């Protein structure tokens, strides 16, 4: 009777690998404090999980009686999460060393957060969804306040925690309502359950509350207020991690809920209206407020809010194209944002003045550090949505899906909002390449050697964006194959 155990364990093996490595890292840190081998171990674990997920990319399965999806869309999302985590681990090492807070437990926390994210993206039931979400969130709260000595970091962490707990309340209440309306926790049985009980009112209310939880995690307007403060307060490379991997996981889970747990007429009706309104407001507010920022990290925080809006536009379409486009967008967004925050991290000289990153402090850095200048150029053009970089393809896919679903107005709002974004992205480049060095404060101009690992990660990110922009064919096909006609993954 326990035959399933072995097969199902294999299906969640990548998650287990990351969890096991996380525990190993804690143990290692306990015996050999802050050992330099910790990041290597963490990186190896992430790479192993990435490869394991890669094998399951075209092999969607259900594990543990439908509690967990494995392979297919879950594998795609998990690979995006792992990519973000891997980039952040590698970039964090020289960064934390430079700001003088090289803690071993950072890596354990990143790994545990990754476990939460992967669980979230693989969720097949409301319970798994909630467990994944909370595992992820608790680790992120701690990571935000990593630099304990600093007031700002503590403040950010506390804010994030309080608001996160607040939104979790809604999320949990939504779960309760959904269970009440359908009598099941499993996504795959929800539509049937609803047909039996016919408690549509309660069901729609539950969906609304669940959406609120998701919209908070992806920082859609007006649930976005925490984002700039938290992103600014957290260590920069970890901001890169939070802004990408956690969003990718939350969006992937939302896609699964929309595609597999909700009845089609609801997705094409109330949910579409809600998501498109939120998407439009998010795109406009995110981009326009980003214009007024002089702090680069805050600017990128608002930019990440705007990007959540673009992805929501793809979700609002409610079609296989839209969901697949959103998955592709998440991949592109993760790569470019990890890269952009990586560049900022490399240019940060300490955790006091250096961490503020006023835009002027970047003056002339392009020539001082050509690698950083060139790769940042790629990241920013990709964020603008400039062809032939991956960001353009992502925007194209989500907006085309929106137009196809009859949401032309949303696409119009989106493209106009992204016209505005060109202005503030370019401004960073202008300062990096076209402002004399003397505009930057003295401390920012101290020469420093760029870590080889940083160079490699940033170059790979830039290269990946170019490759995904020029030859995205297979990746798009894979991303869109999971949701053909809203098909539910074949169960056992």
Partner 1 sequence: METLVRLILLPPLLVAAFNGMMGLFMPSWRKNEWLIGGLALAAVALPFAVTCSLFFGFEEAETVRYFTWLAAGDLSVDFAYQLDELSLLMTMIVTGVGSLIHLYSIGYMHGDDGFWRFFPYLNLFIFAMLNLVLAANLPVLFLGWEGVGLCSYLLIGFWYTELKNSEAANKAFIVNRIGDFAFLLAMFMIFKTVTDAPGFTGTFGLDFATLLAPETLALFEGSTGLWIALLLFIGATGKSAQIPLFVWLPDAMAGPTPVSALIHAATMVTSGLYLLARLSAFVLLQPTAMAVIAIVGALTAIMAATVAITQNDIKKVLAYSTVSQLGYMFLAAGVGAFFVAIFHVMTHAFFKACLFLGSGSVIHSMHHVEHELEHKGLIPSHHGGHGTPHDSEATQNTLRHNPLPYDGPFDAQDMRTMGGLRKYMPSTAITFLISTLAIAGIPPLSGFFSKDEILYKAFEYGYDGHALGYVVWIIGLVTAVLTAIYMTRAYLLTFEGKPRWPGFMDVKPHESPWTMTVPLWVLAGLAVIGGFFGLAPVVAEALGTHSWIHEWLVGHGDHVGPVAELGHEVVPSHAVEWGLLGLGALLALIGVGAAWFGFRFGERGPEADRSVRKLMGVFYGPASKKWGWDEAYDAAVVKPIVEGSRKGLAPFDKGIVDGAVTGLARSVRGLAGVLRGAQTGVVQTYAAAVVLGVVIVVALMLFV
Q: Which of residues 369-388 bind partner 1 (CB under 8 A)?
A: 370, 374, 381, 386-388
Shortest distance in whole angstroms from residue 79 CB to partner 1: 19
Residues 6+ apart with CB under 8 A from 430: none
Residue 222 makes contact with partner 1 by CB under 8 A: yes
How far apart (Å, rounded) are the C-alpha atoms in residues 43 and 62?
A: 28
How far apart (Å, rounded) are the C-alpha atoms in residues 264 and 157?
A: 39
Residue 456 makes contact with partner 1 by CB under 8 A: no
Shortest distance in whole angstroms from residue 230 CB to partner 1: 10
Angle at 144 between CA 327 and CA 16, to 5 degrees: 55
Q: Which of 168, 274, 295, 459 binds partner 1 (CB under 8 A)?
A: 274
CB atoms within 10 A of CB 165: 12
How far apart (Å, rounded) are the C-alpha atoms in residues 225 and 248?
A: 19
Residues 398-427 that bind partner 1 (CB under 8 A): 399-400, 403-404, 408, 411-412, 415-416, 418-420, 422-423, 426
Q: Which of 446, 449, 473, 490 binds partner 1 (CB under 8 A)?
A: 473
3-state SS, residue 61: strand
Shortest distance in whole angstroms from residue 220 CB to partner 1: 8
3-state SS, residue 329: helix
> Do 120 and 52 form a contact (C-beta atoms < 8 A)?
no
> Do 231 and 239 form a contact (C-beta atoms < 8 A)?
yes
Torsion of CA 192, 482, 406, 201, to 10 degrees: 20
Q: Which of 252, 480, 482, 489 binds partner 1 (CB under 8 A)?
A: 480
How far apart (Å, rounded) are the C-alpha atoms in residues 200 and 203?
A: 5
Residues 32-51 that bind partner 1 (CB under 8 A): none
Shortest distance in whole angstroms from residue 416 CB to partner 1: 7
Residue 477 makes contact with partner 1 by CB under 8 A: yes
CB atoms within 10 A of CB 175: 20
Shortest distance in whole angstroms from residue 395 CB to partner 1: 9
Site string for partner 1, 60-99 (x = CB under 8 A): ----------------------------------------
Shortest distance in whole angstroms from residue 126 CB to partner 1: 18
Residues 169-198 that bind partner 1 (CB under 8 A): 170
CB burial of residue 473 (10 Å; 0-12, 13-18, 19+)? exposed
Residues 314-343 that bind partner 1 (CB under 8 A): 320-321, 324-325
- The footprint of partner 1 on this chain (CB under 8 A) covers a number of residues equal to 73
Report the residue count for the chain: 492
Residue 264 makes contact with partner 1 by CB under 8 A: no
- Point out which span in 20-28, 116-124, 139-147, 472-480 binds partner 1 (CB under 8 A): 472-480
């Amino acid at each position: 009777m326990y035959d399933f155990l072995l097969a199902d364990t294999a299906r969640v093996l990548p998650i287990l690998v990351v969890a096991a490595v996380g525990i190993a890292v804690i143990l290692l840190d306990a015996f050999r404090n802050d050992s330099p081998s910790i990041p290597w171990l963490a990186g190896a674990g992430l790479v192993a999980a990435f490869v394991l997920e890669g094998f399951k990319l075209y092999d969607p399965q259900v594990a543990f009686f439908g509690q967990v999806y494995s392979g297919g869309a879950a594998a795609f999302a998990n690979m995006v999460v792992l990519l973000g985590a891997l980039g952040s681990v590698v970039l964090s090492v020289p960064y934390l060393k430079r700001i003088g807070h090289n803690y071993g437990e950072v890596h354990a926390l990143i790994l545990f957060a990754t476990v939460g994210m992967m669980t979230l993206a693989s969720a097949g039931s409301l319970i798994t969804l909630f467990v994944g979400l909370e595992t992820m969130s608790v680790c992120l709260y701690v990571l935000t306040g990593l630099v304990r000595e600093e007031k700002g970091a503590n403040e950010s962490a506390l804010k994030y925690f309080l608001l996160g707990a607040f939104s979790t309340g809604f999320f949990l209440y939504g779960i309760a309502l959904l269970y009440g309306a359908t009598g099941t926790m499993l996504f795959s049985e929800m539509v049937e359950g609803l047909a039996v009980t016919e408690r549509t009112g309660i069901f729609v209310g539950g969906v609304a509350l669940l959406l609120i939880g998701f919209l908070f995690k992806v920082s859609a307007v007006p649930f976005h207020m925490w984002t700039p403060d938290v992103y600014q307060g957290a260590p920069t490379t970890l901001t890169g991690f939070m802004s990408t991997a956690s969003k990718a996981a939350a969006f992937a889970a939302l896609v699964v809920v929309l595609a597999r747990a909700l009845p089609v007429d609801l997705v094409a009706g109330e949910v579409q209206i809600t998501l498109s309104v939120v998407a439009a407001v998010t795109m406009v507010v995110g981009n326009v407020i980003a214009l007024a920022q002089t702090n680069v990290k805050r600017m990128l925080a608002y930019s990440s809010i705007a990007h959540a809006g673009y992805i929501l536009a793809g979700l609002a379409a409610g079609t296989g194209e839209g969901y697949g486009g959103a998955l592709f967008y998440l991949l592109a967004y993760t790569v470019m944002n990890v890269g952009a925050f990586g560049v900022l991290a490399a240019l940060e000289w300490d955790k006091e003045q250096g961490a503020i990153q006023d835009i002027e402090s970047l003056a002339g850095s392009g020539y001082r550090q050509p690698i950083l200048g060139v790769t940042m150029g790629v990241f920013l053009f990709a964020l603008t949505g400039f062809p032939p970089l991956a960001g353009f393809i992502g925007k194209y896919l989500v907006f085309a899906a929106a137009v196809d679903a009859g949401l032309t107005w949303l696409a119009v709002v989106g493209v106009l909002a992204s016209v505005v974004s060109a202005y503030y992205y370019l401004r960073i480049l202008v300062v990096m390449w076209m402002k004399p060095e003397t505009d930057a404060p003295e401390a920012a101009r101290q020469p420093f050697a760029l870590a080889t690992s940083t160079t490699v990660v940033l170059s790979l990110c830039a290269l990946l964006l170019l490759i995904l922009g020029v030859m995205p064919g297979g990746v798009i096909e894979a991303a869109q194959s999971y949701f053909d006609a809203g098909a539910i993954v074949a169960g056992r």
